[in-house]
Structure 1
Amino acid sequence: MDLENPGRLVIRHADASDWLGLAGIDAVAASGDDARRASIRRWCEQGSVLLAEDASGPLGYSVLEYTFFEQGFITMVMVAPTARRRGVGARLLKATEAACTSPKLFTSTNVSNHPMQLLLQRVGYSPVGLLHGLDEGDPELFYLCPNAQPPGPVKAED
């Protein structure tokens, strides 16, 4: 058994052909949500998706975009129900952090999404804000990646 990579989990950039497999493991898309399926397809076509897979197929994915004040934003982290609590989400977050090209990386989750909150806390993300009004009665919690690079002082040249 490979202790560095149990189950031979591989994380790679998804391509346009991966969207259908990801829609199959996404609980919302698999339940028939056409808008989510369209989003997954668009994200894959745009090259915004990191895909976690093993020999059995896709286990999860994350979406990294730069539409949040031109900073990195993890729009989605989804792990197949059968692959949860096996480190897939944490590995996706770490891979997304490594792929991010902006100084800061944010994400958010609903107050009701306790598993995601626990995952973010476990990997060191800091809560940075709360927004009401997106989902009625379920505010959105925003988090900042622990490896964010705050802008340093501007150094004058001699």
Structure 2
Amino acid sequence: MSDIKVAGLEHLQTLCAIDQEVIGNASRSDEIQQAIEEKRCLLHHFADDITGFLISTEDFFGYDFISLVIVKPSARRKGIASALINAYVKTSNSLKVFSSTNQSNTSMQHVFQALGFVKSGVINNLDDGDPEIIYVKIASPL
């Protein structure tokens, strides 16, 4: 059974291991721990296996921002990133939810577009030669 919940410190080691598997180092361990402590980290698990996680902030010009979505390589292309993003958007109190991805990350661009996010801008010079594309999802009126 698949489920999404707020991560706890008991999940830290597993989330850091997934992140390290994806990026090749443990440079974000402190960021992941802080997000867990501040209840800004959602995780996706299937049966007893944690398959991905999402980290958010609430300080992007007064709006919510999804700063990181990581899915275990062996669990990709199964809708996990979409499930995490949808779960976050549903619980957001912000009228707009922003996120971003590199221009080279076409897979994530497709996820955002499929979920109704639209391009909102571009930031150059974060990663040399790979602009960051900003996306936004505007809340549906009630």
**What is the TM-score of this pair, normalised by structure 2?**
0.92
Paired residues, number: 139
Letter in 1 for 2:14: G
Contact preservation (8 Å) 1:64, 1:100: no
Letter in 2 for 1:13: V
- Residue 36 in 1 paired to residue 28 in 2? yes
Give a deviation string over 1:65-121, Cα, whole Å, max 9, x none: 112112000001111101100011111110010121111100000101111111111
| Cα distance in 1 for residues equivalent to 2:5 and 2:54 | 11
Name the residue aligned to 2:15: 22
Higher strand content, 1 or 2: 2
Name the residue aligned to 1:133: 125
Give the match's secondary structure for 2:28.
helix
Tell which structure's C-alpha radius of gyration is larger. 1
- Residue 11 in 1 paired to residue 4 in 2? yes
Percentage of identical aligned residues: 32
Contact preservation (8 Å) 2:126, 2:132: yes
Name the residue aligned to 1:155: none
Alpha-carbon RMSD: 1.3
Name the residue aligned to 2:83: 91
Contact preservation (8 Å) 1:20, 1:41: no
TM-superposed CA distance for 1:36, in Å, is 1.1
| Cα distance in 2 for residues equivalent to 1:43 and 1:148 | 27
Name the residue aligned to 1:78: 70
Give the match's secondary structure for 1:108.
strand
Of residues 127, 136, 139, the one that matches 1:144 is 136
